[in-house]
Amino acid sequence: MPPDDQFPWQDLRAGRPEACAELVRANYQAVYRFLVHLTRDVHRAEDLTQETFASAWQRIASFEGRAAPSTWLHRIAYTKFIDAERSQRRAAALLERCPSRADLPDPLDIALAGDEVRRLHEALDELDAADRAPLVLHYLQGLSYREMAVVLDEPVGTVKWRTSEALGRLRTRLKEEVIDDARQPLH
C-alpha cells in the first residue's frame, strides 16, 4: 500500500500534536490487536502498544513515509514483541511461563461465538509466534504480502512461503483437534 497522500506528513514530522493524535486514533486498535495475537496476553499487549507509540514518537522525525503509517507502526510493534520475547525467554529459564489462554481478551465472546471459533483460536494460539505472526498480519490485520515484508523484514517470496506453511500447520492442528474430539466418549 503506498503512503497515504492525504496524511499530514509534514505536520507529523514537525511534531504537531494534532497529527500525532490522528496517527494514534487511526492505528492504535490494529497495533493492539496484533500484539494481543502475538503475545496472547492483554497486559503485555497494552504495554507493548504504549512502547510502540513511544518509540514511534522518537523516530517520527526520521520517518520518510516510504511505507504506510500502519505498516510502519506494525513494524515497530513486531520489533518490540521480538525484543520482549527475547528478554522473556531469558526470564523463562527461572520461571516457567504458563499458557495464557485465560488472558485472552474475550473468553465469553469466544465461547458465544461457537465451538468452531474457539477451536480456531486455540489452534492459532498453539502455533509458534513465527507462524502466528504472518497469519495474524495477513488474515486478521488485512496486510498485503508487500506490507508484511516490511513488517517482518523479509522478502515478499519468503513471507508468502511462511504464510502458506503456517496455514498448513494450522490446518493440521485443526484436523488433530477434530480427531481428538471424535475419540472422546460422549457424556
Partner 1 sequence: MHDNRSTDSNPLAGSLEARLRALPQPRVPADLERRLLAAIPAAQPLARADRPAARAYRSASPWRWLAAAGVCGMLAAACLLIALALPRGDATRSVAKTDQPRHSAGQTNAAAAPAGNRMRPFFDASKPPKFAWPLAGAPSLTAASRLRAVSFD
End-to-end CA distance of the chain: 52
- And the C-alpha cell for 45? 499487549
**CA 161 to CA 142: how far, in whole Å?**
17
Q: Output the smallest distance, CB 17 to partner 1, in A.
A: 6
Nearer to partner 1 by Cβ, of 60 and 151: the residue is 60
Contact 35, 81 (CB under 8 A): yes
CA neighbor of 27 nearest in space, from 143, 117, 107, 109: 143
Q: Is 21 in the site for partner 1 (CB under 8 A)?
A: yes
Cβ count near 170 (within 10 Å): 19
Query: Which of 62, 94, 98, 182 touches partner 1 (CB under 8 A)?
Result: 62
Nearer to partner 1 by Cβ, of 75 and 173: the residue is 173
- And the C-alpha cell for 173? 492442528
Q: Output the smallest distance, CB 109 to partner 1, in A.
A: 6
Q: Is 8 in the site for partner 1 (CB under 8 A)?
A: no
- Interface residues with partner 1 (CB under 8 A)? 13-17, 20-21, 24-25, 28-29, 32-33, 36-37, 42, 46, 49-50, 53-54, 57, 60-62, 104-106, 109-110, 113, 116-117, 120-121, 124, 135, 139-140, 144-146, 160, 163-164, 167-168, 170-171, 174
